[in-house]
Amino acid sequence: MKVVSTALLINLLAIVGLIAAWFVNRDKTRQALTVALRSFFKMLPSILMVVVLIGLVLGLMPPQKFSAWLNERSGLTGIFVTGLIGAILHIPAIIAFPLAGTLLKSGIAVSIIATFITTLTMIGVVTLPLEMKELGRRFALLRNGLSFIAALVIGWLMGIIL
Amino acid sequence: MKQPTKPAMSQTKNEWAIAIVLMIITVIVGTALPSVRGRIVQSAWSVAREMLFILPAVLVLMGLFAVWVSKETVNKYLGRTSGVRGVLLALFFGALPTGPLYIAFPLAAGLAQKGARTSNIVIFLTAWACIKIPQELVEWQFLGARFMLARLTLTIFFACLIGFIVERALTIKAPKTSL
């Protein structure tokens, strides 16, 4: 199974990295594990949110019905609305991929899923004030505005390519 | 370098509140509608299982990079670069999993002060936001290699394009301190 082999590869990388790091510098390795643990707890509510939400939505709406409902909205308007949702939401990308995978398996259009992931990661409405403060208002607005357009185009092209 | 201000704790609190409300709703729905209970549990469990299999490893990798590749390293390599090499370095250092986006802003401001090109700073920030190496692996697992590679290629192309447009439009006016 392809899905399992990717997970195995990542786990293998982590284990090899961890062993190598342990031999190079134990203190730094401990520090790295603390960082990992801390980010896990920071992500925990988002993880629970996504798991419960997927259960709830797929439980109440069989995948076929759900994708039919969404795919009726998969034109350019659909891409735009999905892009907006992705830009506003603040879900860690690592958690968004399983969500996107579930959506893809339920038959949602590739363009919608690609747009969602791309705006989700590329544009940070939450981090925008900080970006303005550090790099200037014009820079932050221009970069995020262009990124939003680019994300929509990426989603649209993904739908054509795949 | 200024200490980046962390997003307020209330962000996490809100997320917990939403998660708990969702769980309560799910329990109520599951109790009220026994016919869908099985499907709710099964869908939630299959996602949870896949995540549990991959998340610890990804977090460990990110932790290792965060500790080993310091802000100083990034600063050293990206401060005075140009040309194709500069673009590649900006992509590379952006893609290393070295921490959340809010760390990257003061870093980028510092690079601007050191005279790094605006386009490279934009490419660096975009890569930092959405081309993290462990993220790509997770995307590969859940969405397939073709999806991941196609989106990665498009993202790199557009990151560069955005960089050059922003550079044409403005130069970063980072507050000039001592040089």
Contact B12 A36 (CB under 8 A): no
- Of A12-16, A129-133, B11-15, B118-122, minimum mean pLDDT range: B11-15
Do A151 and A115 touch, CB atoms closer than 8 A? Answer: yes
pLDDT at residue number A29: 94
**How long a stretch of residues is chain A?**
162
Question: Which residues, 6 or more positions from B72, have their beta carbon under 8 angstroms from its beta carbon?
Answer: none
C-alpha closest to that of B22 among A29, A56, A117? A56
Residue A134 has pLDDT above 80, yes or no: yes
Angle, alpha carbons A48-A54-A55 (nearest 5°):
90
Secondary structure (3-state) at A133: helix
pLDDT one digit per residue (tens) for chain B, 179 residues: 444 445 555 667 888 898 899 999 999 998 998 888 888 898 889 888 888 888 888 889 888 888 888 777 777 777 666 678 888 989 988 888 777 777 788 888 888 887 788 899 999 999 988 888 888 988 998 899 999 999 999 999 999 999 999 999 887 765 544 33
Q: Residue A135 is nearest to which of B18, B129, B172, comparing CB atoms?
A: B172
Interface test with B, best of A94, A147, A157 (most B CBs within 10 A): A94
Contact B170 A53 (CB under 8 A): no
User: Average pLDDT of chain A?
Assistant: 86
- Of A98-112, A144-158, B95-109, minimum mean pLDDT range: B95-109
Do A97 and A52 touch, CB atoms closer than 8 A? Answer: no
Question: Which residues, 6 or more positions from B61, have their beta carbon under 8 angstroms from its beta carbon?
Answer: A10, A13, A14, A17, B97, B133, B134
B121-173 tens-digit pLDDT: 999 999 988 888 888 988 998 899 999 999 999 999 999 999 999 999 887 76
Q: Please state the ipTM of this predicted complex.
A: 0.82
pLDDT at residue number B152: 96
Mean pLDDT to the nearest integer, A124-146: 89
pLDDT at residue number B116: 83
C-alpha closest to that of B119 among B152, B86, B154, B73? B86
pLDDT at residue number B50: 81
**How long a stretch of residues is chain B?**
179
For the record, the structure tokens of A45 come out as: 């509510």
- pTM for the model stands at 0.80
DSSP annotation of B22 reads H
Do A117 and B135 touch, CB atoms closer than 8 A? Answer: no
C-alpha closest to that of B136 among B94, B106, B164? B94
pLDDT at residue number B1: 41
Contact B57 A122 (CB under 8 A): no
For the record, the structure tokens of A102 come out as: 């579930």
Highest-confidence segment of A19-28, A56-65, B8-17, B97-106: A19-28
Chain B nearest-CA distance from A135, in A, is 6
Q: Is the dihedral of CA B89, B92, B97, B99 positive or negative?
A: positive
- What is the amino acid identity at position B4? P
| Residue of chain B with shortest Cα separation from A154 | B154
Do A116 and A110 touch, CB atoms closer than 8 A? Answer: no
